Amino acid sequence: MTDTPTACLVLADGTVFYGRGFGATGQTTAELCFNTAMTGYQEIMTDPSYAGQVVTFTFPHIGNTGINDEDDETRDPVAAGMIVKWDPTEPSSWRTTDTLDAWLAKRGRIGMGGVDTRRLTRAIRQQGAPHVALAHNPDGKFDIEALLAAARGFAGLVGLDLAKDVTCVQSYRWNEMRWAWPDGYAPLTAPRHKVVAIDYGAKRNILRCLASAGCDVTVLPATATAEDILALQPDGVFLSNGPGDPAATGAYAVPAIKGVLEHRDIPVFGICLGHQMLALALGAQTIKMNHGHHGANHPVKDTETGKVEITSMNHGFTVDSQTLPDGVQETHISLFDGSNCGIRLADRPVFSVQYHPEASPGPMDSYYLFERFADAMEARKVAAT
């Protein structure tokens, strides 16, 4: 690289990567992960599950379709920053309303291009997700020793409850359905089921999938109690995705879920962190992964049907399948490493998955899970008549 570097990434082991900065200027510390998706960088950067992380993209062409007003998973980027191979080019898409560079700058997130992302990815795979400091300075001046100290001083995600930082402040209703040509997002006009969704960092497209399955959704903050949830008399309870250490979030989330589970007929469906919260409430344990699963090409096997789904994943912790208690069945496993990707109770409509069925990399491989949730609520109503 002949140009003067305007950004640098310092790993806690002392490794330094230089590149060209874009987006916001300044400095941030975080855990570094890599994502193998070829599309969806806007959704990734706005996914609350990436709180506390800088994302390096293995696909080199990031930013080439720009930014639009419809693909945000939450209002602003949540990931701390992004590392890419090639500098973002001028966007080429009829949906573009902004460039990636300008969008990141307006929202205080740092980008860095011109990096050997394959080398960086190998380092993450071999050594685990490192703590890093990322800096962007147009003058090209960096205090490497200070950045190294900042990287080594980062507390990490183990023991860290981040759900409280990304959850909604107060409850709200959601009735927007999935995007469909030519009208885009349409409202749900004839809801069939009343669902309470617990927001540990919920993605908008998950809520849209619930609405498309006929659910009138009320979203509650992560700290909602069982009494808060049951007071709304839901037909079903949904546990959302989110960031951080599930054991830390479980300090307040697990008692609430246990309170809901005492009502044996209420269907419960969890995704990602919600899956981990449900597993903890049922008596299992979670563990930190070496480098996690982040991408849109992860094969998952349904152990009950034998079918394989191509899924989107984003998690650095996983449910330890060896700790699943009696009565809790493992329903899905990763074909990459055999880790747990789904559970259900044997005798009740309570189930969850580790991956993101709303992200549609399949593209429709996993949508049946939302229909299964809706069917369970319908069966409950029929049984009550």
In this predicted structure, what is the pLDDT of residue 360? 85
How many CB atoms are closer than 10 A to CB 347? 8
Distance of alpha carbon 21 from alpha carbon 35, whole angstroms: 19
Classify residue 135 as exposed, middle or buried by CB count within 10 Å of its CB (0-12, 13-18, 19+): buried
Q: What is the pTM of this model?
A: 0.96
SS3 207: helix
pLDDT at 1: 43
Give catalytic residue positions: 272, 356, 358
Q: What angle do CA 183, 184, 186 make, to 5 degrees?
A: 85
The whole-angstrom separation of Cα 251 and Cα 16 is: 37
Domains of the chain listed by start with CATH number: 7-153 (3.50.30.20), 163-384 (3.40.50.880)
pLDDT averaged over 10-residue windows placed end to end, the chain, 385 residues: 84 97 98 96 97 97 95 95 96 95 98 97 96 97 98 96 97 95 92 98 98 98 98 98 98 98 95 98 98 96 96 97 97 98 97 95 91 97 90
Instruction: For residues 231 and 213, give the distance between their C-alpha atoms in angstroms, rounded to a whole number.
Output: 23
**What does 285-339 look like in DSSP terms, one character per residue?**
-EEEEEEEEEEEEEEEEETTT--EEEEEEEEEEEE-GGGPPTTEEEEEEETTT--
**Separation CA 343–CA 260 (nearest Å):** 17
Please give the pLDDT value at position 19.
Answer: 97
